[in-house]
Structure 1
Amino acid sequence: MARIYPFRALRYDPARVPMGDVVTQPYDKISPEMQQRYYDASPYNLIRVILGKKDPADTEESSVYTRAAESLTAWRKDRILLEEAEPALYGYAQTYKVPGTEEIRERRGFIALGHLYDYADKVVYRHEQTFPKHKSDRMSLFKATRTYCEQIYMLYSDPAFTAEKLIFGAGKNGTDTTPADLAITDEYGVVHRVWKLTDPTLINLIVTAMADKKLIIADGHHRYETSVAYAKERSAQLRLPLGQPRDEDEKLSPGHLPVPAFPEAAMMMTFVNMDAPGITILPTHRVVFGLDQFDTEAFLTRAEEFFDIEPLVTADLEPLVVSGAVAFIAVARDGNHLLKAKPAAIAAALKDISPRQAQLDVVQLHRIVLERLVGLTAASITNAENIRYVREAEDAVAQVRSSAANIAFFIRPVTLDQLRDISLSGDVMPQKSTDFYPKLLSGLAIYALD
């Protein structure tokens, strides 16, 4: 069962700091330019914790991780961060314009603690592989701070919209009947709203509604896997079973709220219903760089075994949108080409994996294009040695045209149905297969273990 818990969050005091100056995008979406902008915005910006600046003189005793812990300690002492008086869940809505369109969507969910399960328990499912070095970095930060400043983005299915009805109290015209406690507009124009929910009866209704749900990680695989590893470590140290709740019978009375068996057994998550409108998945394009012997003509000759190839005048995404089948756009310094998959040739080349995986654009891009045709090894891709992942097609084109890259490949986004099928079947896609938009803001709520 999926166990969730209310918690007494640390939250910035809006009377002491402007909230828009202290929150950030998730750590793995922060460029060096964004990092500096966050540093300049406020001495209390969360960047100093989640992605602090490194110093060449850093040592084990004085490092980016120890400075993160010192910042949190100082902010709590100075009451920049205040602990809530009572346990709560937090409704969370994001209103945004879909990139590249004029369409306005709203994604709704709620922030709570979620119990940490091993994938083998078949409660939490992943959908893509991870990068080892990212997990090592997050483990070092977490051990130093013992604090969750960012949320995992979790998906679940509930066609009845139970949590949404309980949290947002939507009226007949679809508007919220309860005003938000906090509203922030981020640098992408996304409006983030938060509702604090402290009523024990309401919380327990949501806890009960979530009990039979399977959870799929949308964003945060590295942090989740790091947290599970640390929870197992602490479970052994404390001699407390990770999978066993503190309340043996798990029967909730209206005034009683569930708690983790020990603090490390749960982490902060935002839960979003896959059956509700408002979810957007963007493509993540691939840029290949650092290859001394790359030749576009030779690449296209090899590609003819697996793809029908059409030259393109411009590196526009429209041919992908209308292709109707698996296809990629290859952008090289000496031309652009549409690669349309030959199903029989692809199936023969990918017969070692499940048909469910083999039909995915992103799997064909990695296994056929990047490994077979470009010549990257699976290990080099895992270690991100010759590949960059970018959201904006214009950025990828600029890297190729400026000779900062050999070639770029544009890809269609994974669909929500594909993600659901892959995850719940136990399969996984390559790293960076999805880009959920918008990202969850970091700093809206913080879970401190101590």
Structure 2
Amino acid sequence: MNTAGHSEATAPRGLELAPFRGLRYDPDRVGSLAAVTSPPYDVVVRPDGLHHLQSADPYNIVRLILPQAGTPSARTEQAADTLRRWLAEGVLTADPEPGLYVYEQCDDAGMLQRGLIGALRVSDPSEGVVLPHEDVMPPVVAERAALMRATSANLEPLLLTYRGNGVTAEVIERTAERTALLSTTTEDGFHHRLWSVTDPAELALVQSDLAGHQALIADGHHRWATYRLLRAEHPSPSPWDHGLVLLVDTVRYPLRVRAIHRLLHGLPVAEALSALDGLFRVTRVEKPLPEALVTLADSACTGNAFLLAGDGAFHLVDRPDQDLLARTVPTDRPAAWRTLDATVLHATLLEHVWHVPEDSPAHIAYIHDAGATVAKAEGDGSTAVLMHPVREEVVRDLARQGVTMPRKSTSFGPKPASGLVLRALDL
């Protein structure tokens, strides 16, 4: 599957997606495939979601991706022990031959997404093959790296997008007409199917097609940074040269882009609003959440806008003072970056108005579900900051310029379910 050695140093390599022997749950050993899956580790809403998943099945994947113990080292040791035990018991078994996996997600509303899961060569940023669009938090990378070292496994794929509509798409469509390896429906209503592509001719077609493409990280910046860290720790060639990804062609299957919301621990709504006096317009919104989000979307069409919640009401925060923005937003990046809601939130509101450190879990949480963010804020007297999503083309254009967005700016979806296929590095 690799290009000839003499050309590697000079030829542009593009995306290199290698087949691997997937680790999959034995359906006869678990309650159901749906019951052992989970959203990606950073989407599980704690603690309720975690406890719900743990109780769904004793073999739920959260016991690997989010082990629960008193110390970081105990958590990683627990995950490693759990994985070894599941392998020894035959709960997880390796497929007999390497393949790329066609993965399909669909729902009853007509949404259909298909992509390829494989082991992607971990490239350097200078190659411009995999484009990040967000910064990462070093403590999260360190945590994910410790977990991967301990388990010697990629436990869940990150999500990459590319613009293709070529041969790879045709291979995917042909494969999806065959009998699937697995089929399950998760409680969120999504139907999941998985196939394996093992034919050498088809694998060669995919590799040749992908070699001319670059990819955008849609979800999984911390896992990609972890792959890069672990690759640097191991002499090449090694299994750590590759990392598990789901690659989706958004020409054929456009993703949905949603916002990621903020929960500001220890900052009451009244205090947050008081600090905005004279700096932003604040309007009380007497509507339920779905309609309040429509109000936010309307306001976001004309400028920066946010929705604050946590005191039983919603407060639209918009029309920032231009002098305030000029003083607080860095001017060394393009206008498209300077005017992002996430930029204004982090550079102006968090840093200068509310003095909330963006990388401190004690002060801020990043939550994908608006309703859960509001409920948590109301439950502990905190402030929920609800965001409006940015368009995919804005994200891609900035990434191509080498400009990263503020962390947790976007949520592309649907995200792959964790637990359908894993990659053990020692296979």
TM over 0.5: yes
**Residue of structure 1 aligned with 2:90, choices 50, 70, 79:** 79
CA 403–89 in structure 1, closer or farther in 2 if over 3 Å, else same = closer
Superposed displacement of residue 226, structure 1:
1.3
Letter in 1 for 2:311: R
Answer with 178-187 or 226-235: which moved more: 178-187
Helix, strand or coil at the partner of 1:414: coil
Q: Is the 2:310–2:381 contact (alpha carbons within 8 Å) kept by the matching residues of 1?
A: no
Counterpart CA distance in 1 for 2:214 and 2:197 is 23
Mark the runs of 5 or more structure 1 residues left unpaired by the alignment.
98-102, 171-175, 241-260
Mark the runs of 5 or more structure 2 residues left unpaired by the alignment.
1-13
Which structure's CA Rg is the greater one? Answer: 1
Deviations 1:239-275 (A, max 9, x none): x3xxxxxxxxxxxxxxxxxxxx321100111001122
Letter in 2 for 1:53: Q
Counterpart CA distance in 1 for 2:268 and 2:310 is 14
Counterpart CA distance in 1 for 2:260 and 2:28 is 39
Mapping 1:189-200, distance limit 5 Å = 189-200=189-200
Match of 1:12 in 2: 25
Counterpart CA distance in 2 for 1:272 and 1:297 is 41
Counterpart CA distance in 1 for 2:88 and 2:173 is 34
Match of 1:144 in 2: 150
Letter in 2 for 1:150: E
Counterpart CA distance in 2 for 1:444 and 1:420 is 28
Helix, strand or coil at the partner of 2:58: coil
RMSD: 2.5
Mapping 1:305-316, distance limit 5 Å = 308-314=281-287, 316=292
CA 408–91 in structure 1, closer or farther in 2 if over 3 Å, else same = same
Query: 1:363 and 2:343 equivalent?
Result: yes
Q: Is the 1:296–1:334 contact (alpha carbons within 8 Å) kept by the matching residues of 2?
A: no
Match of 1:162 in 2: 167
Match of 1:247 in 2: none
CA 391–76 in structure 1, closer or farther in 2 if over 3 Å, else same = closer
Counterpart CA distance in 1 for 2:269 and 2:286 is 25
Superposed displacement of residue 214, structure 1:
0.9
Mapping 1:42-441, distance limit 5 Å = 42-54=57-69, 56=70, 63-96=74-107, 103-158=109-164, 160-169=165-174, 177-235=177-235, 240=236, 261-291=237-267, 295-296=271-272, 298-304=274-280, 308-314=281-287, 316-323=292-299, 324-326=301-303, 327-331=305-309, 333=311, 336-341=314-319, 344-345=322-323, 348-349=326-327, 350-354=329-333, 355-376=335-356, 380-402=357-379, 404-405=381-382, 407-441=383-417
CA 120–398 in structure 1, closer or farther in 2 if over 3 Å, else same = same
Helix, strand or coil at the partner of 1:375: coil
CA 394–264 in structure 1, closer or farther in 2 if over 3 Å, else same = closer
Q: Is the 1:106–1:278 contact (alpha carbons within 8 Å) kept by the matching residues of 2?
A: no
Give TM-score, length-normalised by structure 1.
Answer: 0.82
Answer with 194-203 or 429-438: which moved more: 429-438
Match of 1:36 in 2: 51
Deviations 1:139-179 (A, max 9, x none): 11111111111101111111x34322211239xxxxx5334
Letter in 2 for 1:328: F
Q: Is the 1:303–1:373 contact (alpha carbons within 8 Å) kept by the matching residues of 2?
A: no
Letter in 1 for 2:75: V
CA 336–83 in structure 1, closer or farther in 2 if over 3 Å, else same = closer
Superposed displacement of residue 198, structure 1:
1.0
Q: Is the 1:325–1:340 contact (alpha carbons within 8 Å) kept by the matching residues of 2?
A: no
Identity of paired residues, percent? Answer: 29
Give TM-score, length-normalised by structure 2.
Answer: 0.87
Superposed displacement of residue 123, structure 1:
1.3
Match of 2:6 in 1: none
Counterpart CA distance in 2 for 1:59 and 1:291 is 28
Counterpart CA distance in 2 for 1:187 and 1:334 is 29
Superposed displacement of residue 420, structure 1:
0.5
Match of 2:5 in 1: none
Q: Is the 1:312–1:336 contact (alpha carbons within 8 Å) kept by the matching residues of 2?
A: yes
Superposed displacement of residue 216, structure 1:
1.4
Match of 1:251 in 2: none
Helix, strand or coil at the partner of 1:303: coil
Counterpart CA distance in 2 for 1:331 and 1:211 is 47
